[in-house]
Amino acid sequence: MLEATPLTEGWILRHEGDALPASVPGCVHTDLLAAGVIPDPFLGCDERAVAWVGRREWTYECELAARDGHEQTDLVFDGLDTAAEILLDGRPLGRTRNMHRSYRFDVTGLAGRLSVRFVSAYAEAEAVRGQLGERPAAYAEPYQYIRKMACSFGWDWGPTLVTAGIWRPVRLEQWSTARIARVRPVVTVEDGVGLVELHLDVERTRVEAELAVEATVGGVRVRADLDGTRGSVRLEVPDARLWWPRGYGEQPLYGVELTLLHEERPLDSWRRRIGFRSVGLDRRPDAHGTGFTLVVNGERLFARGVNWIPDDVFPSRITRERYRERLRQAADAHVDLVRVWGGGIYESEDFYDACDELGLLVWQDFPFACAAYPEEQPLRGEVEAEARENVVRLMPHPSLVLWNGNNENLWGFRDWGWEERLAGDSWGEGYYLGVLPRVVAESDPARPYTAGSPWSGSWDRHPNDPAHGTHHSWEVWNRDDYADYRLHVPRFVAEFGWQAPPAHATLRRALPGEELAPDSPGVLHHQKADDGNGKLERGLARHFAVPEGDFDRWHYLTQVNQARAVAAGIEHWRSHWPVCAGTVVWQLNDCWPVTSWAAIDGDGREKPLYHELRRLYADRLLTLQARGPVRVVAAVNQAADVWSGILVLRRMSVEGGVIGSVRVEFAAEGRSVADVAVPRELEPVGPKEFLVADVDGLRALHFPMPDRDVPYPRPEFAVALVPGGIEVTAHTLVRDLLLQADRLDPAARADRGLLTLLPGERVTIGVAGWKTPDAEAARSALYCMEPSR
C-alpha cells in the first residue's frame, strides 16, 4: 500500500549565513517573524520595514533519509511559492514557477540534504516581463508575469508583502507496482438516481502487472479490471438524496472510495465526499436583456453572495478552524454564495469542505485579476497545467457551482485603455475564451463556465453592460452617491461595495500608541484605496454633517454609511427579482487590519455591515422602494412558503407623533416579490417626517431627506443590564443605535448592529465575551444619530 510520510520537521531557513528554524508549511515572513528578525508588518507602518524580504533569495533545507521497502519513492510538494530550484545533495531535481500547482520528483534510492532555493518573485516576474514585453495593469507591481497570488503584491485593501516558501504540505510517497495518479469524478443526478463516473489515471512501475479497481459510494460497490494506465468505473445510487444550497434544503454528503488492487492486494486508495445535485446557468435572452441566473436542482436562485479574498496575506497561517469560523459567519448572515476572487488562490480543501457542509455555493475565479496577462510561454503552459490540476482537484465538491475565467480583465481591455497600449500583443483573451473553457468542458462538463466578471457574453456589447450577464458597480463608490444604485436593475451584480474602517479595537491593536484620526499616519497607511479617505469624506458629506476633530464620531458615521450604502443596493436589486438574480457584496473578509469594503475586519470582528447583511439576506426582507412616481412596500420572499400578513404603515414625525397610519393585507408567494402601494396621504413631507412599515418583526424606513437635514431630537434612552447583554429603552426617536461591543472588551461581540427605535420601544442587545458588565460602560459604547451640530 502507498505510504505517505509528511516532511514537517527539521527544516531551516537560510538567512545571511544563519540557519533559522522554519515551519513547513509556512513562508519566509512567518519564519522571520517567529525568529524576531522582522517586526509585525500588520502593525503601524512596519509593512515598509519588511519590503526587502520580497526582493531576496531564500533557501529552505532539511535532511532527507533513505527509504527502503518500495519500488519508488516520490518527493511531493502540494505548493511552492513560487520560483524555486529543488536540489538533493546539490543534484537538481527540478524547477518550479507556479504557486498554484503541485510538484512530484522521483527520489528513489536517494538521500541527503534537500534544498529548496527560492528566487525573488520580483526577479522572476521582471525576467518574464523582459522576455515577453510590457502589459498594462491596474497596479504597478509585476503580478501578471508570474503565476502567484496577485494580491501579495498589494491591492487597494491589502499590503505589499511578497512571499516565498513551502506554503502547502510536503511529503514522501513510497509505492510499488502502481499508484493512483489522478481521479476525475463526474457527479450528476438523473430521475432521482445519483450517477458517479470515476475516471482514473495510474502510474506504474510494472507495466505487466494485472490491476483492478473497486469503487464504493452510498452502499453501491463496483469492480473493474484496468488495462494500461487509464480506466473508469460508473456507479448508480438509487434514491439519492439531493444536496441543496442553504435555505433550500439539506446538504447530505456521500463518501466515495476508489481502491487500486493487484492480486487482491490494495496498492493505493482515493477518498472524497460528494453531493448529488444538478447545476446550470440560465443565460437566455429575454425582454430585459440577457439573464444570469443560477439553477440548482431545477430551482432558480437569487444568489445572496459575498466576495472572498485570502483571509490572510500569509495563506499558510489559515487553519481549518479559521476557514470554518469565517464561513460560518457568512452562513449566519444568510449568505448562500461565496465568490473566490481571481486575485487570490485556489483555496485549500478545508475551505470547500466547509462550504459543502454549510450549503454555501462557491463561484470559483481562475487566478487572473485586473491586468493584461501574456499568453506566450513560459506562462501559457503553466496556466493550462494549473487549470487542469485544480479543476480536477475541486470537482468532488458539490458546493462548487461556477467556474469564472477572470476578474475585470475583459472590462479592462475595453475600458481602461489597454487595447490601444497593447497594439495587438496578447493579453489573456485566449485564456478566457479558449484555454479555460476547453479545460472545463473536457474535465468538468457538469459545471457551467463564464469567461469573466463582468462579462456581457459577447464583444457585440460592452463587457460591463448591466442588462447582459454580470455587472460590477463601482462608479457609485468612486464618484457618485449610493442612491444611484437605484438607477439601474442589472441582471447580476457580481461586485459593489462601500468602505469603512475596521472595529475600534482592531485599530487600537494595529496602531499601538497612535492618537487616532482619519489622517493620522497609521490610519492613512492602513487605507490602501486610491483617494480612499477622500471618497469616505465625500460620501459622508452627502448625508451627514461631517464631524471635525472627533474621530469616534467619524468612525461611527463611516460605518453607518457603509451599511446604508450596501443596503440601498441590495434592497433595490432584491426587490427586482427575477430580473436581477443575484448580488455579491465586495467583500466578506480582510487579510489584515485595514479600512476596506469588508463586512468582517482583519481581526475577525464584525462591522455594522455584517449585521446589516443578516437583515438584507434573510429569506424575508421588507423594503420601501420607488416604482416610478409610486412608492411601494416590497415584500421580498425567498422562502418556499407563502408570506402573508397585515402590513402596518405609519407616517411619523421625528418628535415621535403618528401623523397617519393604515393596515394593509398582503401575500407574497414563495420565491417572489409582492409590492404594496403606499397611500399618497402617508407619504412623508419635509425633513421632520418619515415613513415606517412593520410586519412580523421586520421594519422598513424611509426618510425623504438626508440625515444632515433631519432635525433629530437629542436622543434619550435608558440602559440596563440583563442576563447576557443590555436592554435599551427609547424615550425619543433613536436612529441607528449601535453598540460597539469591542470598546467594552476587545473580546466582546454584540449580536446585532444598527437599530432604529421609536419612542417607547425596547430592545435587548446580546453581548458575549464581556468580562465585567457595567451599565455606564455600555452607555458610553452606544452611538446613534444626533442633532446636526
Closest C-alpha among 359, 151, 145, 354 to residue 249: 359
Instruction: Quickly count: other Cβ atoms within 10 Å of residue 681's Cβ.
Output: 9
Helix (H, G, I), strand (E, B) or coil at 445: coil
Cell output for 327: 464561513
Closest C-alpha among 727, 707, 706 to residue 717: 727
d(CA 531, CA 345): 27
d(CA 773, CA 723): 10
Sign of the dihedral defined by the CA atoms of residues 758, 763, 769, 770, in that order: positive
Strand order in the sheet with 193-204: 178-190, 193-204, 230-237
d(CA 388, CA 199): 14
Beta bridge partners of 402: 363
Burial of 786 (0-12, 13-18, 19+ CB in 10 A): middle
Catalytic residue among 408, 495, 571, 689: 408
d(CA 507, CA 601): 10
d(CA 716, CA 733): 8
Q: Are 605 and 742 in contact (CB under 8 A)?
A: yes
d(CA 711, CA 654): 7
What are the two backbone dihedrals, phi and then psi, of residue 197, each rounded to the nearest 5 degrees? -110, 115
Helix axis angle for 551-574 and 608-616, nearest 10°, is 20
Instruction: Quickly count: other Cβ atoms within 10 Å of residue 306's Cβ.
Output: 27
Cell output for 463: 463587457
Active site residue 408: yes
For residue 601, what are the CA distances in angstroms to 228, 548, 633?
53, 25, 33
Cell output for 13: 531557513
Query: What residues are annotated to the active site?
Result: 408
